[in-house]
Amino acid sequence: MPTSSCIFSYYCLFQASRETISKLADHAEIAKYENKTELQKLQEQLLAERHHAKTMERRLKQLQESSFRHTEQLAKELDMLKSTSGLSSDSEYYS
């Protein structure tokens, strides 16, 4: 038959185990919350980056189109200058 000190030590071990399990459960809950919060933060950052990328892509396309229009306009003006000056090739400009 177990002695009272033995029963007491089993009770102490049992109590210590319960406290340890409780602390581990608390840490797990905290970690779960922190992970969820971090995931939400990363998802928000991802959405912001996607929005920024789409905005930059749209601006790039606009600049490319604008640059193309300006280049065409400059080419037309150059052709007009060539026709009014009687020059027929680019080599005459540079010689």
Any domain includes 16: no
Any domain includes 12: no
Q: Which residue has the higher pLDDT, 31 or 88?
A: 31
Q: Which residue has the higher pLDDT, 17 or 86?
A: 17
φ, ψ of residue 42 in degrees (nearest 5): -65, -35
- pTM of the full predicted structure? 0.56
- As a whole number of angstroms, the distance between CA 34 and CA 28 comes to 10
Strands (E), the chain: none
Any domain includes 62: yes
Position 15 scores a pLDDT of: 87
* Residue 93 near residue 87 (C-beta atoms within 8 A): yes
Residue 2, classed as helix, strand or coil, is coil
Range of the domain at 63: 28-81
* Residue 88 near residue 82 (C-beta atoms within 8 A): yes
The structural domain count of the chain equals 1
Mean pLDDT of 9-13: 83
The overall longest dimension of the chain from CA atoms, in Å, is: 123
Q: What is the mean pLDDT of the chain?
A: 88
